[in-house]
Amino acid sequence: MLLAVGACGESKTSSLTVYQDAPTLNPVDVGAPKNSPGDAYYFFADVREEPGGSVTGQVYGTKTMVKPAEPDDPDAEQRATSLYFVFGDSQDQIVVAGVPDYPPNDAQFAAGQPVLRAVLGGTGEYNGVTGQLTSTRNTDGTYKQEFSLTKL
């Protein structure tokens, strides 16, 4: 599951796919009742190398509403999202962030619609990585998480 590394001075692009269990979501409502900026979800889930396989890590995260849906686009609000993928002995981590669209009044984005976020970096085996994460939610609430990583 660890990223392959190029020779000294070479960058190496690699892919990593993990399968996330349906997350446990904990909502926090702040400010005005219902959806308002600052409302957040805190979440966590196990990740696996293959669907139904052994647990190989966890993902922890937050998603905070930063822009409510507007009258001209009532089906999308923006949430600042941070994800922390933790593997092995918790020393191998990948940090991800982005501001995807979410349906108002729904804790998760639509199933079958890939969402892109930036890979900010990592630790341990993932030290020095950049790239992007493509997250696709399945109809059962699980996710396919596909990393495209470059290690410098």
pLDDT tens per residue, range 63-89: 999 999 999 988 899 999 999 999 988
Do residues 26 and 46 touch, judged by C-beta distance below 8 A? Answer: no
Q: Where are the domains of the chain?
A: 12-151
Find the angle CA(30)-CA(34)-CA(37) to the nearest 5 degrees.
Answer: 50
Cα-flanking dihedrals φ and ψ of residue 88, to 5°?
55, -125
Question: What superfamily does domain 12-151 belong to in CATH?
Answer: Allene oxide cyclase-like (2.40.480.10)
Q: Say if residue 28's pLDDT is above 90.
A: yes
- What burial letters (b/e) apply to 12-26, b meaning 16+ CB within 10 Å? eebebebbbbebeee
CB-based burial label for 100 (10 Å; 0-12, 13-18, 19+): middle
- CA 150/CA 152 separation, integer angstroms: 6
Q: Say if residue 40's pLDDT is above 70.
A: yes
- The pLDDT assigned to 4 comes to 46
Q: With pLDDT > 70 as the criterion, what percentage of the chain qualifies?
A: 93
Among 1-5, 32-36, 38-42, where is mean pLDDT lowest?
1-5
- Report how far Cα 100 is from the mean position of its chain's Cα atoms: 10
Cα-flanking dihedrals φ and ψ of residue 47, to 5°?
-120, 155
